[in-house]
Homo-oligomer: A and B are copies of this chain.
Amino acid sequence: MPDATSTAAATAQNVLRDLAAIRATNPVVLSITNYVVTNTTANALLAIGASPIMSHAVEEMAELLAFSGALVVNLGTVAPEYLAAMAPAWAAADKAVVPVVLDPVGAGASRLRTVTPLALLDSHKAFIIRGNASEIMALAGASGATTVASTSASTSAPKGVDSTALSEEAADFASALARRHNCAVVVSGEVDIVCAGQTQARVLGGSALMPRVTGLGCTATAICGAFAAVNPDPFEAALHACVAMKVAGEMAADKASGPGTLQLYLYDALYVMDEKDVRQRIRVER
């Protein structure tokens, strides 16, 4: 078993390789996402070097997927006009062998938000599923998951529960979910937990301000899409995305005076992040 320092160094190397690939090839990430975060996740994707397309027009999904490197399906807006595009788009992605990242926003908070991602997962192939603890537990069928309902719709801010303890409680459910769907699962939180097969990794860093910015969970999902477009291994793609977000969040927090400025400096950080930033700030535990 490698020690923590060598693990972090090896992961940093791989993150930097993928980051360079994103910046060199500008992969198209097609997103069906919620109306709270269309602008902010597009900006995050542009900042890291990807080429975002935000659409929920069923008619063009197959055409757009023909030149897309990844598809993001984000369930933040569960209105009919958004939901209608998801299954056809995902089916087209499966056919075109485009990796799909699912964000089950608010799973557990309402019946609709729980059954919709489960139905999508039943008939399609996920590459990465990313959510917060209560969302992942709701998907994995954990009883009691719905009691943390406020971790929902537009925010990953946990409420009235110690978020690290909750993430650890969700870890086993996440691993089970990952094995069930043969994909990677990310439990975002103060510590991100990345699961696939029998493997788990924890990513530390970021900033306590991050849950006070709307849609940074959705942004992590979008960034998973960027890494999915350049790395065929779901665990690595998910892990590298979490590292990029934690490093950028920490860089942003160094300059921010609150959640408003944090969001802007986060885009700046995704854009300027270099080898030194990643090597100095990465904190990964296996």
A26 within 8 A of B: yes
**Residues in chain B near residue A26, CB distance under 8 A:** 150, 157, 159-160
Closest to A109 in B: B64
**Residues in chain B near residue A173, CB distance under 8 A:** none
Give the interface size class of chain A: 35 or more
**Residues in chain B near residue A152, CB distance under 8 A:** 28, 51, 53, 64
* Stretch from A131-139, A233-241, A261-269 that touches the partner: A261-269
Tell whether, in the assembled complex, residue B155 and residue A51 are in contact, meaning their CB atoms are under 8 Å apart.
yes
Query: What is the CA–CA distance of A59 and B211 in the complex, to the nearest angstrom?
Result: 27
Tell whether, in the assembled complex, residue B46 and residue A213 are in contact, meaning their CB atoms are under 8 Å apart.
yes
Distance to closest chain B CB from A74 (angstroms): 13
Binding site for B on A (CB under 8 A): 26, 28, 34-40, 42-43, 46-47, 51-57, 59-60, 63-64, 67, 76-81, 106, 109-113, 149-150, 152-155, 157, 159-160, 209, 211-215, 255-261, 263-272
Q: Name A214's contact: one of B52, B63, B155, B209 (CB within 8 Å).
A: B52
Tell whether, in the assembled complex, residue B43 and residue A259 are in contact, meaning their CB atoms are under 8 Å apart.
yes
Query: What is the CA–CA distance of A81 and B54 in the complex, to the nearest angstrom?
Result: 16
Tell whether, in the assembled complex, residue A46 and residue B159 are in contact, meaning their CB atoms are under 8 Å apart.
no
Query: What is the CA–CA distance of A78 and B54 in the complex, to the nearest angstrom?
Result: 10
Q: Provide 10 A-B residue pairs closer than 8 Å at the C-beta atoms, listed in order of the A residue.
A: A36-B38, A39-B40, A54-B153, A57-B78, A57-B79, A67-B149, A80-B81, A81-B81, A260-B265, A261-B268
**Residues in chain B near residue A256, CB distance under 8 A:** 268
Known contacts A51-B155, A78-B57, A109-B53; is-contact A268 B260 (Cβ 8 Å)? yes
